[in-house]
Chain A
Amino acid sequence: MNTRTSLSLSALGVVAFLLGWEAVARSGVVPAGLLPSPSAVPTAFLAEVQRGIWQKMVVASLSHYAVGLALGTFLGVAFGTAAALWRVWDAFQSWVVRMLRPIPAIAWIPFAIIWFGVSEGAASFLIALTVFWINYYASYSAVRGVDKDLIELGHAFGQGGLIPRLFKIILPGALPGILSGLRAGLGQGWMTVVAAELFGISGLGMRMMEASGLLATNIVVLYMVTIALLYGVSDFLFMQVQARVLSWQR
């Protein structure tokens, strides 16, 4: 299947989904307050943009997202790589990791508020936490999976010291795996954005909470669509960058 066919099929899928949704909403099977029709969204969008709320919320959420994502990714890759490289460190931290790993980011919300207040920092902290674990495990297994023969090659050609080994052999070799961790973090990060803002930190999630309190379901849907689009765009951009970075792959 060529790119054009697959693109038009994807577009067709989205249109069919929206039409089906609109049909259910209009048929009266479900009360209008419970399921707003998608055609109500543009009106809500215009109203929110005119009041300047939409822009403000998008910028706020984007900034939590960017800070949390950057921090969580960097630390996740660094700790995951370190654990994969050094047996002693790996053994030392492995049970701490096992204890902390199953705790979902939202369970940290009370501590986030105690430590950072209801603030930007708290939201970024929670996002960073989510993204951290994804990148930790992705990097760990990617670095572990680097071809031992290539490491031997490095030793044979004078690149066996830690720095050349890390930057010329291990990290480039682990890059495809590290990047797929990054991509998974990109999506999970958006989910945590909403969860983190539901308790009152300015952003898309907070606005959704307000709107649902007023039963303004069309506004809730507007922000759901907004998140979907923001995720779509960031994932698309990431894929472009990834294709470039990994152009050496067949």
Chain B
Amino acid sequence: MAAVIDLNGVSIGYGDSAPPVLVDVTLSVERGSFVAIVGPSGVGKSTLLRVVAGLHKARTGGVTIHQDQRPAHRPVGLVFQDARLLPWRKVVKNVQLGLEGLPISAADRLRRAEDALKLVRLDGYARRWPYELSGGQRQRVGIARAMAVDPDILLMDEPFGALDAITRNNLQDELRRIHRETGKTILFVTHDLEEAVHLADRIIVLGGTPARVVRDVKNDAGRDGAVFRDQVEKLRLEIADNYSI
């Protein structure tokens, strides 16, 4: 399988002089895979995602996104922990945000936004204001907005962290369905091990001070049962071993 992104010796720090929080991250993500990045808070998971999205500069190292040549798309689609909708735009206009400035007609923009809303099962909500939606619905709009740009890779920054347990479970199932249906490559940051084991087919564990990749495992533990619990427990110990304050 071909890689969609390659990270090569990436290290991350804040400010100019503070010591780096995350060092020497070298990994490549295969097309169509679902990769979870886990680790304790403060380890630089979210920042790593921002580096991939081009929102934060790595201190050293490089990120390569292997875009394919299809027209009118953006390399990454980002989903935030807070849904981060523009409150002055109706739902369908929020979904179109990333399409503005791409060389497509207004009609195509609208069509793609409506398709994306259909994908997250929110067709019928296009004309609502964000404040009229529940937290889970808002997060679905956030996913639709990222999917609408037809990204090479979908980046998700603890997207379900702020939701209640039932909504979170629903959206996890929805996300697996979306992954299955669209075959998108997904890079998913979470501090919730069960969520990672539940969703991803590969799990990357960050830990230590400064943090680095301490484990990179294939995950086929299934969604529940003894194998699932074993996998979660194994990762939990892994993180505890590398957790030093």
**B86 A169 Cβ-Cβ under 8 A:** yes
Closest to B84 in A: A153
**B55 A157 Cβ-Cβ under 8 A:** no
- Is the contact region of chain B dominated by helix, strand, or loop, or is it mixed? loop
Asked whether A200 is an interface residue with its Cβ less than 8 Å from the other chain, the reply is no
143-187 of chain A: CB within 8 A of chain B: 149-150, 152-159, 164, 168-169, 172-173, 175
Alpha-carbon separation in the docked complex, A173 to B74 (Å): 25
Asked whether B82 is an interface residue with its Cβ less than 8 Å from the other chain, the reply is yes
Alpha-carbon separation in the docked complex, A63 to B78 (Å): 51
Asked whether B173 is an interface residue with its Cβ less than 8 Å from the other chain, the reply is no
Residues of chain A within 8 A (CB-CB) of B149 are 157-158
Closest to A158 in B: B101
What 8 pairs across the A-B complex have the smallest Cβ distances?
A157-B98, A156-B78, A248-B88, A250-B131, A172-B88, A157-B97, A153-B84, A158-B101
Alpha-carbon separation in the docked complex, A94 to B102 (Å): 39
Alpha-carbon separation in the docked complex, A175 to B78 (Å): 26
Alpha-carbon separation in the docked complex, A175 to B130 (Å): 17
Closest to A156 in B: B78
Closest to A247 in B: B129
Residues of chain B within 8 A (CB-CB) of A173 are 88
Residue of B54, B74, B87, B129 with most partner-chain A CB within 10 A:
B87
Closest to B96 in A: A157
Q: How many residues from B make CB contacts under 8 Å with A?
A: 23
Residues of chain A within 8 A (CB-CB) of B84 are 149-150, 153
**B86 A149 Cβ-Cβ under 8 A:** no
Residues of chain B within 8 A (CB-CB) of A8 are none
Alpha-carbon separation in the docked complex, A159 to B53 (Å): 14
Residues of chain B within 8 A (CB-CB) of A175 are 88
Q: How many residues from A make CB contacts under 8 Å with B?
A: 19
Asked whether B145 is an interface residue with its Cβ less than 8 Å from the other chain, the reply is yes
Tell me the A residues contacting B by CB distance below 8 Å. Answer: 149-150, 152-159, 164, 168-169, 172-173, 175, 248-250
**A159 B131 Cβ-Cβ under 8 A:** no
Given contacts A172-B88, A175-B88, contact A152 B98 (CB under 8 A): no
Tell me the B residues contacting A by CB distance below 8 Å. Answer: 53-55, 74, 76, 78, 80, 82, 84, 86-89, 97-98, 100-102, 129-131, 145, 149
Closest to A172 in B: B88
Residue of A150, A153, A164, A169 with most partner-chain B CB within 10 A:
A153
B202 shortest CB reach to chain A, Å: 24
Alpha-carbon separation in the docked complex, A92 to B78 (Å): 37
Alpha-carbon separation in the docked complex, A156 to B76 (Å): 8
Q: Other than A153-B86, A157-B97, A173-B88, give 19 A-B pairs with Cβ distance below 8 A.
A: A150-B84, A150-B86, A156-B53, A156-B76, A157-B98, A158-B102, A159-B97, A159-B98, A159-B101, A164-B100, A164-B101, A168-B86, A169-B86, A172-B86, A248-B87, A248-B88, A249-B87, A249-B131, A250-B131
Closest to B130 in A: A248
**B82 A149 Cβ-Cβ under 8 A:** yes
Residues of chain A within 8 A (CB-CB) of B55 are 152, 155-156
B75 shortest CB reach to chain A, Å: 10
**A158 B98 Cβ-Cβ under 8 A:** yes
Closest to A246 in B: B88
**A159 B129 Cβ-Cβ under 8 A:** no
**A248 B131 Cβ-Cβ under 8 A:** yes
Alpha-carbon separation in the docked complex, A157 to B74 (Å): 8
B26 shortest CB reach to chain A, Å: 24
Closest to B74 in A: A158
Alpha-carbon separation in the docked complex, A168 to B97 (Å): 9
Pairs across A and B, CB under 8 Å, 8 listed: A150-B86, A153-B80, A154-B97, A155-B55, A157-B97, A158-B102, A172-B88, A250-B131
B242 shortest CB reach to chain A, Å: 30
Alpha-carbon separation in the docked complex, A168 to B130 (Å): 16
Residues of chain A within 8 A (CB-CB) of B78 are 156-157
Alpha-carbon separation in the docked complex, A246 to B170 (Å): 33
Alpha-carbon separation in the docked complex, A129 to B97 (Å): 38
Alpha-carbon separation in the docked complex, A156 to B56 (Å): 11
Alpha-carbon separation in the docked complex, A150 to B80 (Å): 11
Residues of chain A within 8 A (CB-CB) of B86 are 150, 153, 168-169, 172
